[in-house]
Amino acid sequence: MTQRNLVLRLVAAATVVMLVAGCSDRPGIDALIPVSAPLAEGAREQVILVASTRERDPRPGVFFNGERSAQLNFAKIDLSVPPTHKPGEIEWPKNGLGNPATDMVVREAVYRDTESEFLRDLKSELARRPAGKRKVFIFVHGYNTMFSEALYRLAQMATDSDASAVPVLFTWASRATTEGYVYDNNSATAARDQLEETIRLAFGSGAEQVSILAHSMGNWLTVEALRQIRISGKTLPLNKIGDIILAAPDIDVDVFKTQLRRFGKPPKPFVVVVSRDDKALGFSDFLAGKKPRLGEYANDTELVGLGAVVVDMTNVEALDSFNHGKFAQLAAMAPQLQSAIAGAKGTATADTVQLQGVRITGLDPARAAQSAGPALPATAQPAPAQ
């Protein structure tokens, strides 16, 4: 494809996406200004640790921007989630400083200058949990995502799942614009070494289990980092690997098949969250010359055969106009999904479970591979989100 044709595709696709999206709800530039007002009664507190390839930004309420940093940056951020919070949704701060009674707000945000400081924070958070619950959940966001969006999405998921895992946000340099697709893709690719470093820090923290949730373009970054780890010869301890959840993956299906063949059939299946009505992945299809993306792939059986549990959310009504953020709604469904999976065990349909529009396929191989708890419910159990 010539550069001119690529530009024309980008312009056309951006126009379509903007028409579909209309005036989407996004946080303002001051969404992360710390609020000192008393914690609202019934509010939930979340402590999120951050590893980032974004540049630090000195502007109040921004913290990290969309430009690439030459080094891995770290931070610790305390937030509160309002008592009026609705599952699956983010209550953005409005009109400058947020109101803790109605909005998600930052209580305190501090940079950490070194890897050792980040690791100290992580060990401290793990120590606050009882034995058996000292887990880490790493969230890797997708394309067109502001730092504040990724942060608040993770807070939403951590709250809805009511999980004990320590939430860790790995945030790479997205410019958070539709036309920034190529820049974002290159930023994600450039962040592979830093994500590998973050994953190894999590495993070296004393955590009993580490799980990873990637969304959209973040899946390309995540699978590549895991592939690097696999071929490095310095593999991760199998008994500490939790769930690897690939939500709405913006990966060419053929590329993913090649990646999985390199891995070999994983000892514990990847969890792939798909939706065939995902408009954002339709945009990616267009840019990729109509090559299907993994997050909208229709052949569940083939993916299961490659070593995946498939969570099909096509029939779930989305809370976003793109149908691209459905995965965030899984957190609140965790208890029901657990019950449904447990109830299906040993039955003639044990391989497949359906609940509230969610269809889960490939459960029997997941159960056989499990050595530390149920495979799919951890999709929503650990604290994770965009």
> Residues 197-217: what's their mean pLDDT?
97
Helix axes 218-232, 253-263, angle to 10 degrees: 20
> Residues 77-96: what's their mean pLDDT?
92
Q: Which two tokens stand for residue 165?
A: 């895992």
Count Cβ atoms below 10 Å from residue 54 Cβ, excluding itself: 23
The whole-angstrom separation of Cα 67 and Cα 50 is 16
In which band, very low, low, confident or very high, does the pLDDT at 365 lie, cut at 50, 70 and 90? low
> Residues 69-80: what's their mean pLDDT?
97
In which band, very low, low, confident or very high, does the pLDDT at 287 lie, cut at 50, 70 and 90? confident
Please say whether the beta carbons of 45 and 79 come within 8 A.
Answer: yes
Residue 255's nearest CA partner among 228, 302, 220 is 220
- Which comes out higher in pLDDT, residue 345 or 187? 187
Measured distance between the N- and C-terminal CA atoms of the chain, rounded to whole angstroms: 30
Question: At 20, which amino acid appears?
Answer: V
Per-residue model confidence (pLDDT) at position 2: 53
- Which comes out higher in pLDDT, residue 261 or 152? 152
Per-residue model confidence (pLDDT) at position 379: 36
The whole-angstrom separation of Cα 290 and Cα 292 is 6
Share of the chain above pLDDT 70, in %: 82
Query: Is it the case that residue 19 has pLDDT exceeding 50?
Result: no
In which band, very low, low, confident or very high, does the pLDDT at 139 lie, cut at 50, 70 and 90? very high
Q: Are strands 44-57 and 166-171 parallel, antiparallel or unpaired?
A: parallel
In which band, very low, low, confident or very high, does the pLDDT at 345 lie, cut at 50, 70 and 90? low
Distance of CA 86 to the CA centre of its chain: 19
Count Cβ atoms below 10 Å from residue 177 Cβ, excluding itself: 14
> Residues 194-213: what's their mean pLDDT?
97
The whole-angstrom separation of Cα 377 and Cα 243 is 9
- Which comes out higher in pLDDT, residue 10 or 66? 66
> Residues 83-87: what's their mean pLDDT?
96
151 — phi, psi (to 5°)?
-65, -50
Q: Mean pLDDT over all residues of the chain? A: 85
Exposed / middle / buried, residue 221 (Cβ in 10 Å: 0-12, 13-18, 19+): buried
Residue 326's nearest CA partner among 312, 346, 342 is 312
Per-residue model confidence (pLDDT) at position 333: 80
Count Cβ atoms below 10 Å from residue 190 Cβ, excluding itself: 14
In the chain, the domains with their CATH numbers are: 25-379 (3.40.50)
- Which comes out higher in pLDDT, residue 279 or 77? 77
Exposed / middle / buried, residue 57 (Cβ in 10 Å: 0-12, 13-18, 19+): middle
The pTM score is: 0.87
H helices of the chain, in order, are: 3-21, 115-127, 147-161, 181-190, 192-203, 218-232, 253-263, 279-287, 300-306, 334-344, 363-369
Per-residue model confidence (pLDDT) at position 6: 47
Question: At 17, which amino acid appears?
Answer: V
Residue 256's nearest CA partner among 305, 306, 298, 313 is 306
> Residues 63-81: what's their mean pLDDT?
97
Query: Is it the case that residue 11 has pLDDT exceeding 50?
Result: no
Residue 256's nearest CA partner among 236, 282, 274 is 274
Q: Which two tokens stand for residue 365?
A: 């191989």
